[in-house]
Amino acid sequence: MYKVYRGDSCDFYKRHRDEVKGKAKLIYLDPPYNSKRNRGARKYYNDSNMLWSLFISNIINYSYEMLRDDGFLAISINQTELFNLKGIVDEYFGEENFIGLFPVKIRHKERQLMINATFHDVYEYLLIYRKNKQQRFICENKPANLEKFCYKITILDRNCRKEEINGKQVEIYDAGMYKITKEEPSEDNLRRYIIAGKLKTANWSGEWFENNLRALGNDKLVKVYGLENEGLGYRWFQTQNDKRVSGVYFQSTLCAGRPILPTNDLDYTEIVPNIYKEGGEGCDFKDSKKPEKLLEWIISITTNKDDLVIDLFGGSGTTIDVCIKNSRDCIIVEKHLEPYNIIKRRIENIIKDCNKKIEIEYLNV
C-alpha cells in the first residue's frame, strides 16, 4: 500500500487518525531543522519557525499514537534543535525508550565551503526511539564457527527415567543407553562445553547443572527441556565420569550465532556529492535530500517486509522510494507543491525502471 498525501502533517493525523493509529512499524521524520537558512531546496519551504518546539511537540505526540507497540521512531536533525528535540521526544516516549544518538557524517572535512562559519560541521544526527523498551533492532546473525560442532549423541536404549527437576522436564539415560561420538564438524552436530571455572557460576546452563544435575552421579546423559528455547527446545548434559570431574553441556548451532549489532558509525560522505542523481531525472532537492542508503539502513533494522512506514515530511520522497524497492508499505505526507511534484516524478521514475505495476494513491490531506 503506497499513499502520497499533499498537505500539512498535523492535519493529516487529525483527519486520518482512525486509519493510522497504532499501525506504523517505523515513523521517519526529517522536519525543517529551523536552521534559518533559505538556500537550495529550502526556498520551497520555510526553515525558520518561532513556534518550532510547539509544532514538533504535536508531531511527536501524533507519531507516538501512530506507532505500533513494537514500533520505532527515527528523526533526522542537526545541531540547531538537537538538544531541544531530545527533551521534547523524551516527554512523549519516555527517556528510557531513547535508543541512541546516531551521528551521520555527510560532509568531507576538507570540503569547507562556508568560510564565514566558526567551524566546519560535518555531521547531522539521527535520534532513534522505541515505543516499548523490550523492542530490539532487527539484526543479522553472524553464523556459528562450525569447527567445534563435532559431537553427535545417539540414543541406544529409549527406556530412560523421566522426572521433573526444579520445574523442568528431564530424561535421564544411564551409561550404556547412549553413545557420544566425535564426528566431522557439521551444522547438525553439537558443541561441547566443559562446566568448569566461570561456567559453573556465571553461565545459566553451567549453574543449572551444578545445582540440579551433578548430584545424579557419574556417567548420566540428561536431556533438559526448556533450557535452550531459542534452539532445539532442550539441552543435553553429561555428568562427570572417571576421567573428568566436571560435567559438560552441549550447544546446537541454532543458538550459537551472535547478532551483529548496528553501530552508530554512519558515513555517507562519498554518497552525498552525487545524491542529486538519486531518484532519477528531475528529483534534485539540494541540501535537503537524504541518502537512500541511510533510509535503507533505518528500514532494515526496524521493519520487516510489508510493515508500514510513515514519513510526515516527504521532501523529495527518499523514504517512499526505498520502501517501494524494499517491499515495505508507506504513507508519505508533503505540504509544499514543488517537493510534492518531485515525489511524483521520483515514483514515475521507479515505475519506469522496475517495469512492474505499483499501486500508488495520490490524495489531499
Ligand X SMILES: C[S@@+](CC[C@H](N)C(=O)[O-])C[C@H]1O[C@@H](n2cnc3c(N)ncnc32)[C@H](O)[C@@H]1O
Q: Does 16 bind ligand X (CB under 6 A)?
A: no
Nearer to ligand X, 290 or 344 (CB): 290
> Of the ranges 99-107, 160-168, 241-249, 333-341, which one interacts with ligand X (CB under 6 A)?
333-341
Q: Which residue number has the CB closest to ligand X? A: 315
Q: Which residue in the set 335, 344, 347, 350 belongs to the binding site for ligand X (CB under 6 A)?
A: 335
Least distance in angstroms from the C-beta of 8 to ligand X? 4
> Of the ranges 16-24, 128-136, 161-169, 331-339, which one interacts with ligand X (CB under 6 A)?
331-339
Q: In this structure, are strands 98-105 and 123-130 parallel, antiparallel, or unpaired?
A: antiparallel
> Of the ranges 134-142, 232-240, 250-258, 288-296, which one interacts with ligand X (CB under 6 A)?
288-296
Least distance in angstroms from the C-beta of 103 to ligand X? 17
Q: Which residue in the set 64, 250, 339, 350 belongs to the binding site for ligand X (CB under 6 A)?
A: 339
Q: Does 32 bind ligand X (CB under 6 A)?
A: yes
Q: Which residue in the set 81, 307, 329, 334 belongs to the binding site for ligand X (CB under 6 A)?
A: 334
Q: Which residue in the set 13, 20, 30, 302 belongs to the binding site for ligand X (CB under 6 A)?
A: 30
Q: Which of residues 290-329 bind ligand X (CB under 6 A)?
A: 290, 313, 315-316, 318
Least distance in angstroms from the C-beta of 226 to ligand X? 47
Least distance in angstroms from the C-beta of 283 to ligand X? 9
77, 53 Cβ separation under 8 angstroms: no
Site size for ligand X (CB under 6 A): 19
Nearer to ligand X, 329 or 334 (CB): 334
Least distance in angstroms from the C-beta of 295 to ligand X? 8
Q: Does 348 bind ligand X (CB under 6 A)?
A: no
Residue 242 pairs with which residues in a beta bridge? Answer: none
Binding residues vs ligand X (CB under 6 A): 8-9, 30, 32, 44-45, 285, 288-290, 313, 315-316, 318, 333-336, 339
